[in-house]
Amino acid sequence: MSLVAISSVDASNARQYIQVMESLGAAVRLLTPEADGPAEDLLQGAGGLLLSGGPDVDPARYGAAPDPSAGLHLCRPLDALELKLLDYALGRDMPVLAICRGMQLLNVAFGGKLIQDLPDHREEDHEGELVSRKHSIFLSPGSKAAAIIGSAGFFRVNSRHHQGLREAQRAPRLMSTAYSVEDGLVEGLESVEHSWVIGLQCHPERQDEVPRSFANLFAALAERAEGFGGSQGLSSINIK
Cα angle vertex 52, ends 64, 231, to 5°? Answer: 100
Percent of the chain with pLDDT over 90: 89
d(CA 219, CA 158): 20
Q: How confident is the model at residue 121 (pLDDT cuts 50, 70, 90)?
A: confident
pLDDT tens-place string over residues 3-19: 999 999 999 999 999 99
Residue 126: band (very low, low, confident or very high) from pLDDT cuts 50, 70, 90:
low
Residues labelled catalytic: 100, 203, 205
Q: Tell me what the mean pLDDT of segment 61-80 comes to.
A: 97
Q: How many other CB atoms sit within 10 Å of the CB of residue 105?
A: 24
* pLDDT tens-digit map of 37-70: 999 999 999 999 999 999 999 999 999 999 999 9
Prediction pTM value: 0.93
The end-to-end CA distance of the chain, in Å, is 33
Q: Where along the chain do its domains lie?
A: 3-227
CATH H-level superfamily of 3-227: Class I glutamine amidotransferase (GATase) domain (3.40.50.880)
